[in-house]
Amino acid sequence: MRFLVDRCAGRRAAEWLRSQGHDVVETRERGADPGDEVVLEWAASEERILITMDKDFGALIFARGAAHAGVIRLPHVRSHERIALLESIFARHGDDELKGAIVTVRGSRIRISASGR
């Protein structure tokens, strides 16, 4: 799968995704933070699922109808816990289910929503 890892989601998560064979780009590799709208545009135009801990992307997608290729929003936890959550998501949900979906993790609950894109 193809991912864009937001700066807040961390380098270790990106490294783990790469070790699992995924195509991964990190926003930090592109310089200073350009803002949420640009990050979401990058992910959409490159058909990458955005991995973030930032809640603002949901507002851009649901309230403004912003285009996207999918978002996985992880909670603010340590990097090894974020990686464990990603493992859990991938074990329970297939590629087709994740592409274009909004995945929100709260505690041990994983919610997948269609965005109406």
Using the structure block, give the residue that is written with the tokens 């991995």.
51
Range of the domain at 63: 2-114
List the one residue out of 110, 116, 75 whose CA is nearest residue 93. 110
If you compute the radius of gyration of the chain from its CA atoms, what whole number of angstroms results?
13
Q: What is the pLDDT of residues 10-40, one digit of tens each?
A: 999 999 999 999 999 999 999 899 999 999 9
Number of domains in the chain: 1
Whether the pLDDT of residue 74 is over 80: the answer is yes
The pTM of this model reads 0.93
Q: What is the pLDDT of residues 49-59, one digit of tens each?
A: 999 999 999 88
Using the structure block, give the residue that is written with the tokens 């912003």.
66
